[in-house]
Structure 1
Amino acid sequence: MRIEGENEINMTEASVKEPLVLFMPSGKRGRFPVGTPVLEAARKLGVYVESVCGGRATCGRCQIEVQEGNFAKHKIVSSLDHISEKGPKEERYEKIRGLPDGRRLSCSALILGDLVVDVPQDTVINAQVVRKAATDRVIERNAAVQLCYVEVDEPDMHKPLGDLDRLKVMLEKDWGWKDLLIAPHLIPQVQSILRKGNWGVTAAIHRDMDSSRPFIVALYPGLKNE
């Protein structure tokens, strides 16, 4: 991935091979290899696209819209042909829960060419809406608490790790959380919560700006989507 400056387009061989993706309304953009999931591109650029299920196409929170046309200001020609067709997971989600016209799940949609991508604000369930008549401002959201769904390995006599340790392993593997702390009252509940959720669990993780270590503040069996 290569982040582009606002007025910087370097047409090297590498940049021709790697499509340019522009996220709106943030205006952040960068070049990514063909086949990169849109959600992954957003995360690498620091664009907030909400997701709970960890790219399993089950929560539906990571919806995006692809804009079509020639965006001369940004030197991008964006087209629906520049994004992959819906795969089995996305089709299953659409059949069961429905997707508005023009919406895609960014965890399943793959970058095939230059794109202008809108992040609809109605998909950010916990976002605060501020309305002012005189001016409009884009306020990027950086929630203190993030919901993260993982599927934890079942106990294995050949891998002597406890339930909490296996939970931490999956939170690091799927979400990148390291050195996690956990609220003391949750420790005796981990075993029962994991079994109630059939080894799937949603962890609410708090990022305290005054602490270098993130904190598990709540656990829910299965996928908690709101």
Structure 2
Amino acid sequence: AIAGHVGADNVAALLAEEPETLSQPALIIDVGTNAEIDLWDGQQLYAASSPTGPAFEGAQIAFGMRAAPGAIERVRIDRESLAVRYKVIGEARWSDQWTPEEPPAVAASGICGSGVIEAVAELFLAGILLPDGRFNPDSASDRLRWEGKRGAFVLARAEETAMGQDILITSEDVRAIQLAKAALYAGCKVLMQEAGIARVDRVTLAGAFGSYISPTHALVLGLIPDAPLDHVVAVGNAAGDGARIALLNREKRAEARRIARSVRYVETATHPAFQTEFVKAIHLPHQEDAFPHIASLLPPRRSAPRGRARRRPRSSA
């Protein structure tokens, strides 16, 4: 183990991924309720944990569920027409390919972590969400619903779902994702500040959940710092791979002990920069940091709407 929430599984992941062989700065992130973050700056390994909470796993989300048949796992929103299509676990086709004659094998019954991340990112790219996370009252989407100043978006209409009820992305859902991604991003920035670097060349997403995160949507959301898209990779269960390596090779077991001793642990909870970085990272994708590798995808920065009447979509979804 290294310290605190950064334990033997993190050492095993480092053993498997061998970041010290890279010539450029790199992050390894195991996304979970407590995200484990490792940074290689070219000379030194740093490690930290960040309390992201359960939102990435579908918990604390209005229609959240685990990644099981019926869970919405992929979301796309057309930038021009604002048409929505999605995929559910257990059905190979996208929802716009379903017909009464060929209905889905499994109807939508909720949304899992990867689906929530893609939904929030797609809503932002389509201009339905503003950078501060509020639903845009000037959006032309007929899927937006309002209750006072609080908005909700109909992701799947009642006739498409297993329970005959609309599946919504609510303002509270968006906020939960913002807080979770801000904690993760702030943890990355704290390590980068400790190392004295402004950018990384590679981001490795480890763990079961990391395997299902779309690199593009992770960057759009500001879940991770900017990096070349083809250098954002998912590696699955890196900790399990490292454990097997250590079991089968005595020299690798010795290397694991060396890694545990050499990693510099940074406590994010008490770090003076964490809260500042956290607040800046609540915005989509970030209040200040640039994302040049996805700049062409991002909507133009705009001021919050002022003085315009809120459009009330029809009540039926």
Normalising by the residue count of structure 2, what TM-score does the alignment of the two structures yield? 0.21
Greater fraction of residues in helix: 2
Greater RCO (Cα-Cα under 8 Å, separation 6 or more): 2
Normalising by the residue count of structure 1, what TM-score does the alignment of the two structures yield? 0.26
